[in-house]
Amino acid sequence: MAKKLDLSVKVGALELKNPLIAASGTFGYGSEFADFVDPASYGAIAVKGLSLNPKEGNPMPRIVETPAGMLNAIGLENVGLKRFIEEKMEYLRTLDTKVIANFFGNTVDDYALMASRLSEVDGVHALEMNISCPNVKAGGIAFGTDPKLAREVVLAARKETGLPLIVKLSPNVTDIKVLARAVEEAGADAISLINTLTGMAVNLDRRAPALANVTGGLSGPAIKPVALRMTWEALSAVKIPVIGLGGIVTGADALEFLCLGASAVQVGTANFIKPLSVLDILSEIEHYLTAKGIGSVTDFIGTFRIP
Amino acid sequence: MCSLPDERAGRETAATITLSQPLGGGYHRLRFAPDTPARTVPGQFVMVRVRDGVAPLLRRPFSIHMVERGEVELLYREVGEGTAIMTGLKVGDIIDVLQPLGRGFGEGGEVPLLVGGGIGVAPLLYLAHSYLAAGKAPKLLLGGRTERDILCHDQFSCLAIPTKYATEDGSLGDTGLVTALLEDEFKAAEKLGALSVHACGPVPMLAAVARLAEGAGVACEVSLEAHMACGLGACLGCVVKARDGGYVRVCADGPVFDSKEILWP
């Protein structure tokens, strides 16, 4: 019998049993999906983005479907740090997978405090800083689009945590390489990209925006080519591991990012379409690697060549 | 809700279309036989992936109209691309369904008043069956713009439950709104405490129903509808304002709510 395929990967010090991470904001706190799929099928779960205090989020409508994608302007609604620790961690700790605490803030001090507090939570294996969410009118957007601010906020969080620190980058910038280098210099252990692309939809019946927030974040298959391009650029700019995401719904999609050199990938909108996506993607990866005679995901990562 | 043989309560399952029937006026009945049946309660909903691929990308939510011999029936109005594709499905076609989802209707009083506006009648047939089976004496109050918007005559009439109609143009039953029928029921009731209200329809109707029921001190449940992405409580795309602050999720906290949970517009 052939040797079992090794799906495990390392993102710096963070070891994952497989390269699939549930993207923040698309998998709740894990338990929401438990009736439909074992959340521990993922190599890691990036939980819904957390802030120090609970956040109510934006008015409705918050989502709208677009060609091969969707726009969302949820407004980072979340239960806040305290309820996350008290109500959500107990379940997450029971799962045989890694927990990545995604967080955001409105000031440098917020980020530092969140990094510090989350580092003390039993069962959190890594942190992911959202410095890029395009849905928040104050704060977030400035950090992710200005290299100086990005460096400052990552430095501040870095000082407060010994856990692997992943910085999630915004694609809404002219040159992703500049931002990638800035957060690497500030001490990020890894980069994840891309967050959603800022977009807009018009309700022609009402001649009004389709989203109450007017603009929203575009996700889904529509953004995959942009995500691949930016992953490629980030990989060329930094030495730290890069986690690729944006429009992954099939095993082939995931393999494309891994082939470029991404150490792992995140699956987001696909969870909405099909809760069992994680299992389908994993089995498609297995089939591909087996057919190609490649024994492990790590052997496959970074095998992309420009002839 | 009963538990299934294994630990997971919900299912993503392939399902074969067994009936596709246009009802006129853009309304449609669609019945399917899931490969893996699920135990459902009235008021719960399903998410249908109308076809593979990326257009349309998201599933479409539908309340469960009826469940019989393991087959699930939906009643919907064609409103866009997704429902148009659904209507084009033929008997024998396969769809991908997530079910059952959400919180359904509660036990109800001795005399549950089932109040439907237009397509809001959809979850009430299954509910009527369930209340009859539980030995209750449900009544049905249906409203719509015209007679064409009053659906499921046949399916309800074989249940032989007291039914009243109201149409805005007077083409069937009383002229006016279904809320007037509800007011009459409250006035005529010997014992308000025996009543419970279970309503589904447009938000202005539900808000009026909730006001009336609360005014009369009658327990009232409403079934809400919303655009959804996941249907599982994760995306937070289908929320409504809660009376005690913040938002509740139509998919996971509902779609059936105690009317007092909702901050009505």
* Residue A260 pLDDT level (bands cut at 50, 70, 90): very high
Supply the pLDDT for residue B47.
97
Supply the pLDDT for residue A2.
55
Task: Please state, as a whole number, how many other Cβ atoms lie within 10 Å of the Cβ of residue A120.
Answer: 10
3-state secondary structure B8-44: CCCEEEEEEEEEEEEEECCEEEEEEEECCCCCCCCCC
B83 three-class SS: helix
Whether A122 and chain B come into contact, CB under 8 Å, resolves to no
Q: Containing H/E element for B112?
A: strand B111-117
pLDDT, mean of residues B46-66? 94
3-state secondary structure chain A: CCCCCECCEEECCEEECCCEEECCCCCCCCHHHCCCCCHHHCCEEECCCECCCCECCCCCCCEEEECCEEEECCCCCECHHHHHHHHHHHHHHHCCCEEEEEECCCCHHHHHHHHHHHHCCCCCCEEEEECCCCCCCCCHHHHHHCHHHHHHHHHHHHHHCCCCEEEECCCCCCCHHHHHHHHHHCCCCEEEECCCEEEECEECCCCEECCCCCEEEEECHHHHHHHHHHHHHHHHHCCCCEEEECCCCCHHHHHHHHHHCCCEEEECHHHHHCCCHHHHHHHHHHHHHHHHCCCEHHHHCCCCCCC
C-alpha neighbours within 13 Å on the C-beta side of residue A214: 2
| Structure confidence by residue, pLDDT tens digits, B91-106 | 999 999 999 999 999 9
* Residue B153 pLDDT level (bands cut at 50, 70, 90): confident
Q: In what order do the strands lie in the sheet with B111-117?
A: B174-175, B163-167, B139-144, B111-117, B195-200, B219-223, B256-258
Across all residues in chain B, what is the average pLDDT? 93
pLDDT at A202 over 90: yes
Under an 8 A CB cutoff, do B230 and A271 touch? yes
* Residue B4 pLDDT level (bands cut at 50, 70, 90): very low
Residue B99: strand pairing partners: B11
pLDDT, mean of residues B6-14? 71
pLDDT at A281 over 70: yes
Under an 8 A CB cutoff, do B235 and A249 touch? no
Supply the pLDDT for residue B9.
67
Supply the pLDDT for residue A141.
58
Q: Taking a C-beta distance cutoff of 8 angstroms, is the pair A126, A14 a contact?
A: yes
| Structure confidence by residue, pLDDT tens digits, A211-223 | 999 999 999 999 9
Supply the pLDDT for residue B259.
97
Supply the pLDDT for residue A124.
98
| Structure confidence by residue, pLDDT tens digits, A90-120 | 999 999 999 999 999 988 899 999 999 999 9
Measured between alpha carbons, how far apart are the two ends of chain A, in Å?
A: 35
CA gap A106, A137 in Å, rounded = 10
Percent of chain B with pLDDT over 70: 97
User: Radius of gyration over alpha carbons of chain A, in Å?
Assistant: 18
What is this structure's pTM? Answer: 0.94
C-alpha neighbours within 13 Å on the C-beta side of residue B205: 31
Closest Cβ opposite residue B59 in set A57, A60, A273:
A273
Taking phi first (over 0 means left), then psi (-120 to 50 degrees means alpha), and beta for anything else, what does residue A92 get?
A: alpha
pLDDT at A170 over 50: yes
CA gap A231, A101 in Å, rounded = 22
By C-alpha distance, the chain A residue nearest B9 is A35
CA gap B76, A204 in Å, rounded = 24
Under an 8 A CB cutoff, do A269 and B57 touch? yes
Which ipTM was obtained for this model? 0.92
Under an 8 A CB cutoff, do B8 and A32 touch? no
Q: Report the residue of B97, B232, B248 to disrupt the A interface, i.e. the one with the largest count of A CBs within 10 Å.
A: B232
pLDDT at A162 over 80: yes
Q: Which residues contact B98 (CB under 8 A, 6 or more apart)?
A: A36, A275, B10, B11, B12, B46, B47, B59, B231, B232
- Smallest CA-to-CA distance from B92 within B165, B173, B15 is with B15
Cis peptide before B100 (omega within 30 of 0): yes
Q: Which amino acid is at A258?
A: L
| Structure confidence by residue, pLDDT tens digits, B118-141 | 999 999 999 999 999 999 999 999
The DSSP bridge pattern shows strands A14-16 and B11-24 to be: unpaired
- Å between B25 CA and nearest CA of chain A: 21
CA gap B215, B143 in Å, rounded = 21
Under an 8 A CB cutoff, do A275 and B9 touch? no
Residue A45: strand pairing partners: A22, A99
pLDDT at A133 over 60: no
pLDDT, mean of residues A30-35? 94
Percent of chain B with pLDDT over 90: 85
pLDDT, mean of residues B184-192? 94
Using the Cα atoms of residue B63, residue B66, residue B71 and residue B77 in order, give the sign of their dihedral. Answer: negative
Q: Which of residues 211-250 of A touch B (CB under 8 A)?
A: 220-222, 249
Whether B58 and chain A come into contact, CB under 8 Å, resolves to yes
Across all residues in chain A, what is the average pLDDT? 94
By C-alpha distance, the chain B residue nearest A77 is B236
Tell me the two tokens of residue B12: 């993503």
B258 three-class SS: strand
By C-alpha distance, the chain A residue nearest B82 is A65
By C-alpha distance, the chain A residue nearest B236 is A74
| Structure confidence by residue, pLDDT tens digits, B22-55 | 998 899 999 999 998 888 999 999 999 998 888 8
